[in-house]
Every structure is written in C-alpha cells, then in structure tokens.
Amino acid sequence: MASEETLIVDCDTGIDDALALLYLLGDPGVRIGAVTTVFGNTDPGTAALNTLRVLELVGRSDIPVAVGAEHNRRGSRHLAPDVHGADGLGNTDLPAPRTSPIAEPAAELIVRMARENPGTVHLLAVGPLTNLAAALQLEPELPRLVKHVTIMGGAMLHPGNVTPVAEANISNDPEAARIVLRAGWPVTLVPLDATMTEAITEEQRRRLAEFGSPVTTFTAAILDLYLDFYAQHAFGERKAACHDPLAAAIAVGDVEPLLAPVVPVDVETGDGPARGMTIADLRGQYRGFPESGAAAVRVVLETDRAFGDRLVDRLCSDVPNLGAA
C-alpha cells in the first residue's frame, strides 16, 4: 500500500468482512483511518458492534467506527443470517464490545475525511454501496478528492450468488452501485469471478484453531458456520470463498491480478430478473481505453488462486497483535 494512503473501510461486518479487517490490521504498513458500516450481511448497527469487537481483539479501539445506511435507496434491504449467523459472526454470541460507534453518520465521515485528506483516501467498499452513493450526493466533488475506490461486488462471466446474474452487494442496492460506478473516480471492482476461485478450506480453519492465538481462535470459530453454508450451497465440501479479504489484499497491493481489464461497467436497475446485474463490455480490453463517457472500471477477473494460504499465514504470523498470546 502506498505510504501516503489512508483506508476507509466501508463494510457490513459479517464473517468475511471480519477476516478482511484482520488481514489489513496485520500489516503495520496499512493505515486504516475509519470504518463505516452499512446493511447487508447484517444490519449496520450490528455490523458496527462486530467491527468494534474485531478492533478490540487487536488493540485498535482508536479507529473510529461510524454507522451508515439501514436500507437501500428504495427503502428496502436483504440481510444474510443464513450465511453469517443471526449475530453476523457465525452465531458465536460474543460479549458486547467495550467501545461504541461515533455519532457522526458514515456518509458524513467519508466526506469529511476526504476533504481533510485530499488525494490520499482510498475507499474499500465490501458491502452494498449505499453509503458511498450518499457521500457522493453530499459532496459532488468527492471523486476529485478520493485517490481510489476498491469494491468487492458484481459478477461478470460468473453466475450471481443471489440471483442467476446478480451478486449480493450490488443486488442489495443497484441504484447506489450505478451511481458509484459512474462517478468518474478510479475504481477497481473485485467480482465473484475472482473471489469464488480464492477459498479458505477446512484444513486451513483447523490450522487457525490449532495455532491458538486470540485472533486465530476467533477466526476459526466464526468460520465454522460459513464453511457449512458453502459446503451445502456452493462447493459440496467445507471451504468458503474469500470475497472481502481478497478485495482488501488487492486494495493494498498484496495481490496482483492476472487479468484485470479496464472496461465500461454498468448496473441493471430495472425490476425484471436481471436487476442488480453488473454488465461489463469486456470487448473494451482490446482497445486499451474505454469509449469517451463510459465508466472506466478495472475489473479483476483472475488471480493466482493462492490467497487462502496468504490469509492464513498472515493471521498466524508474529505481527504485533496477531501473533500467539
């Protein structure tokens, strides 16, 4: 990660969001300026409490956590207790955090930090894009102030995970996703095409449990339900996709995509069966630059499929706060 960058992580803290945060927190060269929460895997209030739990686990209660959108731009939402548990963290029923979210709303925090740190803020969005769209509405100059946006979301050549064509984060607020992708700022999109090919396995979960640090004991516990879900609904064995952690690693430069064309991307916002579909004109990869006026998005289609080991190695490392107790 560039030394002058400050990350704002916008998330709906369920299991893979927690893994993404721990991955980032395990790198002393990564500066997280704030975390904002949104509905998605769970409601934004619960997501904020889960985020505070993660931060307290590694002694980083100094990072502010702001609560964001309860619903999408149409006033509805879909949560995922079947995937992440009723508490968002695998039904582990952890004690309440000692700290609380700040009073400042998420969108206002994003705008304020971008104004105070022009050209250095990197937004990492791993939930629905409602907070980012609201921030753009508050500050139309935000694309000029923000250095980069990395988004976990969408499905290009891969099937969707909530409908045959739509991925959950984009599907939860297609209108917001269209606003964000069309805003004119530099965007890297990490869709299911990449994240479904990067997995964490039951063998790796056992390695985390056996390592025995507070962080690895926590991650092994929250992964139990997650692997069950993916075994039943996706892979037929106990392994789970590394959605949010992979996007985090790409955002800070730890994973270099093997295929990531810069192409026009749009989102279907109608009410038919294609609602929430991300549409990339992949023919554009041969032209070098998108046509004038089109949304220029770097779309990660392929990585080296070795990230599961990288994630577990990081969590089992001797980095301060992530090592053995």
Active site members: 243
> What is the number of other CB atoms lying within 10 angstroms of the CB of residue 294?
15
Quick one: residue 131, left, alpha or beta (phi over 0 = left, psi -120 to 50 = alpha)?
A: alpha
Distances (CA, A) of 193 to 37, 100, 175, 214: 25, 36, 22, 32
HEC letters along the chain = CCCCCEEEEEECCCHHHHHHHHHHHCCCCCCEEEEEECCCCCCHHHHHHHHHHHHHHCCCCCCCEEECCCCCCCCCCCCCHHHHCCCCCCCCCCCCCCCCCECCCHHHHHHHHHHHCCCCEEEEECCCCHHHHHHHHHCCCHHHHEEEEEEECCCCCCCCCCCCCECHHHHHCHHHHHHHHCCCCCEEEECHHHHCCCEEEHHHHHHHHHHCCHHHHHHHHHHHHHHHHHHHHHHCCCEEECHHHHHHHHHCCCCCCCECCEEEEEECCCCCCCCCEEEECHHHHHCCCCCCCCCEEEECCECCCCHHHHHHHHHCCCCCCCCCC
